[in-house]
Amino acid sequence: MIHPANMNAFSDEDLDLMRRVEEDAARWLGDEEDEEAKSLSVWIDALGETLEKTEDPLLRRAMFSSFLRRAEEQKKSDNIEQEQEDAGSEDDEEQADEDANHASSVSPTYNLEEEMNDAFDEKDELEASYKEYCLKHGKTALLPVINALKVKTIKDLDCSNYSMGDSGATCMAAYLHHLLYLETLKLTGNNIHEAGMLALAKAFRDCEHLKAIVLDDNRIGIAGARALGDASVDKASSLEVLSVSNNKLTDPALAYVIKQLVACNRLKFLSIAMNSIGDASCDSLTKFC
Protein backbone atom coordinates (compact mmCIF):
# COMPACT_ATOMS: atom_id res chain seq x y z
CA MET A 1 0.00 0.00 0.00
CA ILE A 2 2.93 2.33 0.60
CA HIS A 3 4.95 3.07 -2.51
CA PRO A 4 7.39 5.93 -1.87
CA ALA A 5 8.72 7.55 -5.02
CA ASN A 6 12.27 7.37 -3.74
CA MET A 7 12.90 4.27 -1.62
CA ASN A 8 16.52 5.32 -1.10
CA ALA A 9 15.28 8.09 1.18
CA PHE A 10 14.50 5.49 3.86
CA SER A 11 16.75 3.37 6.06
CA ASP A 12 16.43 -0.43 6.10
CA GLU A 13 14.74 -0.16 9.50
CA ASP A 14 12.18 2.32 8.15
CA LEU A 15 11.44 0.06 5.18
CA ASP A 16 11.05 -2.89 7.51
CA LEU A 17 8.53 -0.88 9.52
CA MET A 18 6.66 0.02 6.34
CA ARG A 19 6.34 -3.65 5.47
CA ARG A 20 5.17 -4.40 8.98
CA VAL A 21 2.49 -1.73 8.68
CA GLU A 22 1.26 -3.24 5.44
CA GLU A 23 1.30 -6.80 6.79
CA ASP A 24 -0.47 -5.87 10.02
CA ALA A 25 -3.09 -3.88 8.15
CA ALA A 26 -3.76 -6.77 5.81
CA ARG A 27 -3.91 -9.31 8.63
CA TRP A 28 -6.00 -7.34 11.12
CA LEU A 29 -8.35 -5.43 8.87
CA GLY A 30 -8.30 -7.88 5.98
CA ASP A 31 -11.17 -7.20 3.63
CA GLU A 32 -10.44 -4.13 1.50
CA GLU A 33 -14.12 -3.94 0.63
CA ASP A 34 -14.82 -3.08 4.24
CA GLU A 35 -15.29 0.65 4.81
CA GLU A 36 -12.94 0.65 7.80
CA ALA A 37 -10.23 -1.07 5.77
CA LYS A 38 -10.64 1.54 3.04
CA SER A 39 -10.23 4.26 5.63
CA LEU A 40 -7.05 2.65 6.91
CA SER A 41 -5.71 2.31 3.37
CA VAL A 42 -6.21 6.04 2.83
CA TRP A 43 -4.46 6.74 6.12
CA ILE A 44 -1.47 4.59 5.16
CA ASP A 45 -1.19 6.30 1.76
CA ALA A 46 -1.19 9.68 3.48
CA LEU A 47 1.42 8.44 5.93
CA GLY A 48 3.64 7.33 3.05
CA GLU A 49 3.43 10.76 1.44
CA THR A 50 4.28 12.44 4.74
CA LEU A 51 7.26 10.18 5.33
CA GLU A 52 8.76 11.13 1.97
CA LYS A 53 8.90 14.73 3.16
CA THR A 54 10.27 13.85 6.60
CA GLU A 55 14.01 13.76 7.19
CA ASP A 56 13.93 13.05 10.91
CA PRO A 57 14.07 9.25 11.43
CA LEU A 58 12.67 9.57 14.95
CA LEU A 59 9.62 11.33 13.55
CA ARG A 60 9.07 8.60 10.96
CA ARG A 61 9.40 5.84 13.52
CA ALA A 62 7.22 7.64 16.04
CA MET A 63 4.39 7.68 13.52
CA PHE A 64 4.88 4.00 12.77
CA SER A 65 4.96 3.23 16.48
CA SER A 66 1.69 5.07 16.99
CA PHE A 67 0.08 3.22 14.11
CA LEU A 68 1.18 -0.18 15.37
CA ARG A 69 -0.13 0.61 18.85
CA ARG A 70 -3.50 1.58 17.42
CA ALA A 71 -3.53 -1.51 15.21
CA GLU A 72 -2.99 -3.69 18.27
CA GLU A 73 -5.89 -1.94 19.98
CA GLN A 74 -8.01 -2.70 16.93
CA LYS A 75 -6.99 -6.34 17.09
CA LYS A 76 -7.99 -6.58 20.75
CA SER A 77 -11.33 -4.96 19.95
CA ASP A 78 -11.90 -7.40 17.08
CA ASN A 79 -11.05 -10.33 19.35
CA ILE A 80 -13.60 -9.19 21.93
CA GLU A 81 -16.30 -9.02 19.28
CA GLN A 82 -15.32 -12.46 17.91
CA GLU A 83 -15.44 -14.04 21.36
CA GLN A 84 -18.86 -12.56 21.93
CA GLU A 85 -20.02 -13.91 18.60
CA ASP A 86 -18.66 -17.39 19.30
CA ALA A 87 -19.94 -17.63 22.87
CA GLY A 88 -23.12 -15.58 22.47
CA SER A 89 -26.45 -16.99 23.56
CA GLU A 90 -29.94 -15.61 23.98
CA ASP A 91 -29.43 -15.31 27.74
CA ASP A 92 -26.31 -13.20 27.21
CA GLU A 93 -27.57 -11.02 24.39
CA GLU A 94 -28.08 -7.94 26.53
CA GLN A 95 -24.60 -8.18 28.07
CA ALA A 96 -23.04 -8.98 24.69
CA ASP A 97 -24.62 -5.88 23.16
CA GLU A 98 -23.31 -3.78 26.01
CA ASP A 99 -19.77 -5.21 25.59
CA ALA A 100 -19.93 -4.78 21.83
CA ASN A 101 -20.91 -1.15 22.24
CA HIS A 102 -18.00 -0.67 24.62
CA ALA A 103 -15.59 -2.36 22.19
CA SER A 104 -16.89 -0.12 19.43
CA SER A 105 -16.45 2.96 21.57
CA VAL A 106 -12.75 2.20 22.15
CA SER A 107 -11.99 1.27 18.55
CA PRO A 108 -9.33 3.59 17.12
CA THR A 109 -9.88 6.16 14.43
CA TYR A 110 -7.23 6.65 11.78
CA ASN A 111 -6.56 10.31 11.34
CA LEU A 112 -3.03 11.28 10.30
CA GLU A 113 -2.89 14.54 12.23
CA GLU A 114 -4.23 12.91 15.38
CA GLU A 115 -1.81 9.99 15.06
CA MET A 116 1.17 12.34 14.68
CA ASN A 117 0.05 14.36 17.68
CA ASP A 118 -0.48 11.18 19.71
CA ALA A 119 2.98 9.92 18.75
CA PHE A 120 4.72 13.10 19.82
CA ASP A 121 2.64 13.59 22.95
CA GLU A 122 3.31 10.05 24.10
CA LYS A 123 7.00 10.33 23.22
CA ASP A 124 7.39 13.56 25.17
CA GLU A 125 5.44 12.22 28.15
CA LEU A 126 7.52 9.04 28.30
CA GLU A 127 10.78 10.92 28.03
CA ALA A 128 9.79 13.38 30.76
CA SER A 129 8.50 10.58 32.97
CA TYR A 130 11.72 8.57 32.61
CA LYS A 131 13.91 11.60 33.35
CA GLU A 132 11.85 12.44 36.42
CA TYR A 133 11.99 8.84 37.63
CA CYS A 134 15.78 8.81 37.27
CA LEU A 135 16.06 12.13 39.10
CA LYS A 136 14.09 10.75 42.05
CA HIS A 137 16.56 7.86 42.23
CA GLY A 138 19.57 10.14 41.99
CA LYS A 139 20.57 9.00 38.50
CA THR A 140 21.05 10.70 35.15
CA ALA A 141 18.72 9.48 32.42
CA LEU A 142 20.57 7.39 29.82
CA LEU A 143 20.58 8.74 26.26
CA PRO A 144 20.09 5.30 24.64
CA VAL A 145 17.00 4.72 26.77
CA ILE A 146 15.64 8.19 25.98
CA ASN A 147 16.08 7.56 22.25
CA ALA A 148 14.51 4.12 22.55
CA LEU A 149 11.45 5.55 24.31
CA LYS A 150 11.10 8.10 21.49
CA VAL A 151 11.02 5.34 18.89
CA LYS A 152 9.50 2.41 20.84
CA THR A 153 9.82 0.11 17.80
CA ILE A 154 13.54 -0.25 18.41
CA LYS A 155 14.81 -3.84 18.42
CA ASP A 156 18.34 -3.45 19.80
CA LEU A 157 19.26 -1.46 22.90
CA ASP A 158 22.91 -1.17 23.89
CA CYS A 159 23.53 0.44 27.29
CA SER A 160 26.96 -1.08 27.87
CA ASN A 161 29.55 0.63 30.08
CA TYR A 162 27.33 3.39 31.47
CA SER A 163 28.12 2.53 35.10
CA MET A 164 24.40 2.73 35.85
CA GLY A 165 24.57 0.69 39.05
CA ASP A 166 21.52 -0.81 40.73
CA SER A 167 19.53 2.43 40.78
CA GLY A 168 20.14 3.09 37.08
CA ALA A 169 19.21 -0.49 36.21
CA THR A 170 16.04 -0.17 38.28
CA CYS A 171 15.10 3.05 36.48
CA MET A 172 15.59 1.46 33.07
CA ALA A 173 13.71 -1.69 34.10
CA ALA A 174 10.65 0.38 34.97
CA TYR A 175 10.37 1.51 31.33
CA LEU A 176 11.38 -1.60 29.36
CA HIS A 177 7.76 -2.66 28.90
CA HIS A 178 7.24 0.34 26.63
CA LEU A 179 9.71 -1.14 24.11
CA LEU A 180 7.25 -3.50 22.49
CA TYR A 181 9.65 -4.93 19.90
CA LEU A 182 12.87 -5.13 21.92
CA GLU A 183 14.89 -8.20 20.92
CA THR A 184 18.45 -7.52 22.13
CA LEU A 185 19.50 -5.85 25.40
CA LYS A 186 23.19 -5.27 26.17
CA LEU A 187 24.14 -4.20 29.69
CA THR A 188 27.83 -5.08 29.86
CA GLY A 189 29.98 -3.34 32.47
CA ASN A 190 27.33 -1.47 34.45
CA ASN A 191 28.14 -2.43 38.05
CA ILE A 192 24.75 -4.14 38.38
CA HIS A 193 24.36 -6.11 41.60
CA GLU A 194 21.51 -8.15 43.06
CA ALA A 195 18.98 -5.32 43.48
CA GLY A 196 19.38 -4.12 39.91
CA MET A 197 19.21 -7.66 38.55
CA LEU A 198 16.01 -8.39 40.47
CA ALA A 199 14.35 -5.35 38.88
CA LEU A 200 15.60 -6.26 35.41
CA ALA A 201 14.54 -9.91 35.69
CA LYS A 202 11.02 -8.81 36.57
CA ALA A 203 10.98 -6.44 33.57
CA PHE A 204 12.20 -9.15 31.19
CA ARG A 205 8.93 -10.99 31.62
CA ASP A 206 7.08 -8.11 29.95
CA CYS A 207 9.44 -8.01 26.94
CA GLU A 208 7.57 -10.38 24.68
CA HIS A 209 10.13 -10.47 21.86
CA LEU A 210 13.35 -10.44 23.91
CA LYS A 211 15.85 -12.86 22.37
CA ALA A 212 19.28 -11.81 23.61
CA ILE A 213 20.44 -10.65 27.06
CA VAL A 214 24.06 -9.62 27.66
CA LEU A 215 25.09 -9.00 31.27
CA ASP A 216 28.85 -9.47 31.15
CA ASP A 217 31.16 -7.75 33.65
CA ASN A 218 28.58 -7.12 36.36
CA ARG A 219 28.02 -8.60 39.84
CA ILE A 220 24.45 -9.89 39.76
CA GLY A 221 24.96 -12.13 42.81
CA ILE A 222 23.17 -15.26 43.97
CA ALA A 223 19.66 -13.73 44.26
CA GLY A 224 20.12 -11.95 40.94
CA ALA A 225 21.24 -15.15 39.24
CA ARG A 226 18.23 -17.05 40.55
CA ALA A 227 15.88 -14.28 39.40
CA LEU A 228 17.54 -14.32 35.96
CA GLY A 229 17.17 -18.09 35.79
CA ASP A 230 13.49 -17.90 36.65
CA ALA A 231 12.94 -15.12 34.11
CA SER A 232 14.67 -17.28 31.48
CA VAL A 233 12.02 -19.96 31.98
CA ASP A 234 9.34 -17.36 31.23
CA LYS A 235 11.26 -16.44 28.06
CA ALA A 236 11.78 -20.09 27.08
CA SER A 237 9.97 -19.69 23.77
CA SER A 238 12.07 -16.74 22.61
CA LEU A 239 15.45 -16.57 24.40
CA GLU A 240 18.34 -17.36 22.05
CA VAL A 241 21.36 -15.67 23.66
CA LEU A 242 22.39 -15.29 27.31
CA SER A 243 25.78 -14.01 28.40
CA VAL A 244 26.77 -13.62 32.07
CA SER A 245 30.57 -13.77 31.78
CA ASN A 246 32.68 -12.31 34.59
CA ASN A 247 29.94 -11.92 37.19
CA LYS A 248 31.89 -13.81 39.87
CA LEU A 249 28.96 -16.19 40.23
CA THR A 250 29.35 -19.07 42.67
CA ASP A 251 29.01 -22.62 41.40
CA PRO A 252 25.53 -23.17 42.92
CA ALA A 253 24.22 -19.86 41.53
CA LEU A 254 25.57 -20.62 38.07
CA ALA A 255 24.22 -24.14 38.24
CA TYR A 256 20.74 -22.81 38.97
CA VAL A 257 20.80 -20.48 35.94
CA ILE A 258 21.97 -23.30 33.66
CA LYS A 259 19.35 -25.68 35.04
CA GLN A 260 16.57 -23.20 34.27
CA LEU A 261 17.91 -22.65 30.75
CA VAL A 262 17.20 -26.27 29.84
CA ALA A 263 13.62 -25.18 29.16
CA CYS A 264 14.84 -22.66 26.56
CA ASN A 265 14.60 -24.81 23.46
CA ARG A 266 15.67 -21.95 21.16
CA LEU A 267 18.88 -21.12 23.05
CA LYS A 268 21.81 -20.86 20.63
CA PHE A 269 24.53 -19.18 22.69
CA LEU A 270 25.44 -19.26 26.39
CA SER A 271 28.49 -17.55 27.86
CA ILE A 272 29.44 -18.29 31.49
CA ALA A 273 33.18 -17.59 31.36
CA MET A 274 35.07 -16.12 34.33
CA ASN A 275 32.67 -17.47 36.93
CA SER A 276 33.15 -20.23 39.50
CA ILE A 277 32.36 -23.24 37.33
CA GLY A 278 32.36 -26.39 39.48
CA ASP A 279 30.75 -29.80 39.71
CA ALA A 280 27.22 -28.45 40.09
CA SER A 281 27.52 -26.24 36.99
CA CYS A 282 29.05 -29.03 34.96
CA ASP A 283 26.27 -31.38 36.00
CA SER A 284 23.66 -28.85 34.88
CA LEU A 285 25.47 -28.40 31.57
CA THR A 286 25.15 -32.12 30.83
CA LYS A 287 21.38 -31.60 30.66
CA PHE A 288 21.92 -29.73 27.39
CA CYS A 289 23.55 -32.77 25.77
Rounded to the nearest 10 degrees, how much is the dihedral formed by the CA atoms of 137, 143, 149, 154? -130
DSSP string, 215-262: --S---HHHHHHHHHHHHHHTTTT--EEE--SS---HHHHHHHHHHHT
How high is the pLDDT of residue 130? 94
How high is the pLDDT of residue 6? 45
**Is residue 267 a contact partner of residue 232, using CB atoms and an 8 Å limit?**
no
The rounded distance, in Å, linking the Cα atoms of 27 and 25 is: 6
**Can you point out the beta strands (E) in 108-192?**
156-158, 184-186
Per-residue pLDDT of the chain (289 residues; tens, 9 = 90+): 444 444 455 566 666 666 666 665 555 555 555 555 555 556 666 666 665 655 555 556 666 666 666 656 666 666 666 666 666 554 555 555 555 554 444 444 444 445 555 555 566 788 889 999 999 989 999 999 998 887 777 899 999 999 999 999 999 999 999 998 899 999 999 999 999 999 999 999 989 899 999 999 999 999 999 999 999 988 877 899 999 999 999 999 999 999 999 888 889 999 999 999 999 999 988 876 6
How high is the pLDDT of residue 203? 96
**Is residue 207 a contact partner of residue 180, using CB atoms and an 8 Å limit?**
no
| Distances 130 to 206, 207, 213, 252 between C-alpha atoms, Å | 18, 18, 22, 36
How high is the pLDDT of residue 104? 45
How high is the pLDDT of residue 213? 97
